[in-house]
């Protein structure tokens, strides 16, 4: 079993943060456990917002299209506060065309949410910002995209760095690479040091009650998916850490994503958790992982409750920033702000 009491006790809210594109609240949880107090958060999806509100009932969450929030409204939300850090992971879809036909990443209309992050930073003028995104951003267009992004913030007066972090290096039982772009008005920010030990899937979820296909439990979000007999038969052939090649040829799927029809390796960190993990199976039980097990692989504590149906909850978990990753980054931010 993994020890999920990894947060420091005795939190003091002498620092604050704003969370844009908050999702279920992975970054919010990480920063709050590091001692940051929320000023406001923004999330447009009403279903996801139910999860955020349940777990952060005292936070000022705006459920709206971020584009509709005016500069005047932003200033009203901030009030008399001097904002320490703005955090968030703006969805960016414009990787495929950026760099082609002279079109830049920032100019691509599909990346308007990234522009909104810049707009909020330009209005709020925080001491620091932390922007999380897919690792591909760091290498896209031969590195020109990340240069362009950093330049957009440097024009606002920030010292900007970026680094791709591997979640498994920071006590999170999952292989998940994400780029963290950090800007500061102050010098001295350093990315967190790698932990000595990685956490395996079995260490993370092995203590949870066993469940058969379709079985429910009293633990929030720990309910097994109801698989068909055909699917149960296929998965029964796959060994711990194995894949579709373990399935007899007459039953083996011949098409589809090669990252499906595999079993987690009990001795290693998990593969990347996404919004659809229905065909990646428990290392020894004949079923897919429950939402609670997936949440643990993302480092959410068991008292963090997800609202919605199983498909929505899986997507919320898969799209979240692992709270523990947010926590270790927040602690490095705190060193600069102090």
Among 92, 168, 199, 294, the one annotated catalytic: 92
Residues 6+ apart with CB under 8 A from 288: 224, 225, 227, 277, 278, 279, 280, 281, 282
Say if residues 208 and 291 touch (Cβ distance below 8 Å).
Answer: no
Distance CA 320, CA 77 (A): 24
Say if residues 32 and 18 touch (Cβ distance below 8 Å).
Answer: no
Q: Taking the CA atoms of 332, 334, 335 and 337 in sequence, report the sign of the dihedral they define.
A: positive
Distance CA 81, CA 100 (A): 42
Q: In this structure, what DSSP letter does residue 199 have?
A: P
β-pairing verdict for 262-263 and 280-281: parallel
Q: Is 92 marked active-site?
A: yes
What SS3 state is found at 133? Answer: strand
Tell me phi and psi for residue 68, to 5 degrees.
-80, -10
Q: In this structure, what DSSP letter does residue 190 have?
A: -
Per-residue tokens: 40: 């406001």
Distance CA 181, CA 109 (A): 21
Residues paired with 179 in a beta bridge? 133, 164
What SS3 state is found at 197? Answer: coil
Residue 82's Cβ-side half-sphere holds a number of Cα atoms within 13 Å equal to 4
Burial class (CB in 10 A: 0-12, 13-18, 19+), 206: middle
Tell me phi and psi for residue 91, to 5 degrees.
-60, 135
Active site residues per annotation: 92
């Amino acid at each position: 079993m993994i020890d999920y009491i990894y947060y420091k006790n005795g939190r003091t809210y002498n620092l604050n943060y704003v969370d844009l594109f908050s999702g279920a609240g992975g970054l919010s949880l990480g920063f709050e456990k590091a001692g940051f107090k929320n000023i406001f958060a923004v999330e447009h999806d009403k279903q996801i917002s139910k999860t955020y509100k349940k777990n952060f009932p005292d936070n000022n969450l705006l459920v709206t299209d971020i584009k509709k929030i005016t500069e005047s409204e932003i200033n009203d939300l901030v009030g008399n506060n001097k904002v320490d850090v703005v955090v968030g992971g703006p969805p960016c879809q414009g990787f495929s065309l950026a760099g082609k036909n002279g079109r830049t990443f920032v100019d691509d209309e599909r990346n308007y949410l990234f522009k909104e992050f810049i707009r909020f930073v330009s209005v709020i003028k925080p001491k620091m910002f932390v922007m999380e995104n897919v690792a591909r951003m760091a290498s896209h267009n031969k590195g020109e995209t990340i240069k362009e992004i950093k330049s957009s913030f440097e024009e606002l007066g920030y010292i900007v760095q970026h680094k791709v972090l591997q979640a498994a290096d920071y006590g999170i039982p999952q292989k998940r690479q994400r780029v963290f772009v950090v800007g500061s008005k102050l010098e001295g920010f350093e990315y967190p040091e790698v932990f000595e030990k990685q956490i395996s899937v079995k260490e993370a979820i092995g203590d949870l009650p066993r469940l058969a296909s379709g079985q429910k439990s009293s633990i929030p979000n720990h309910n097994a998916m109801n698989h068909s007999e055909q699917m149960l038969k296929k998965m029964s052939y796959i060994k711990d850490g194995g894949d579709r090649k373990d399935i007899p040829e007459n039953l083996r799927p011949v098409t589809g994503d090669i990252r499906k029809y595999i079993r987690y390796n009990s001795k290693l960190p998990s593969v990347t958790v996404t919004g659809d993990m229905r065909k990646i199976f428990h290392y020894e039980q004949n079923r897919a992982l429950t939402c609670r097990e997936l949440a643990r692989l993302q480092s959410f504590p068991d008292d963090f409750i997800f609202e919605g149906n199983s498909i929505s909850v899986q997507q919320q978990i898969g799209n979240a920033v692992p709270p523990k990753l947010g926590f270790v980054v927040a602690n490095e931010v705190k060193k600069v702000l102090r």
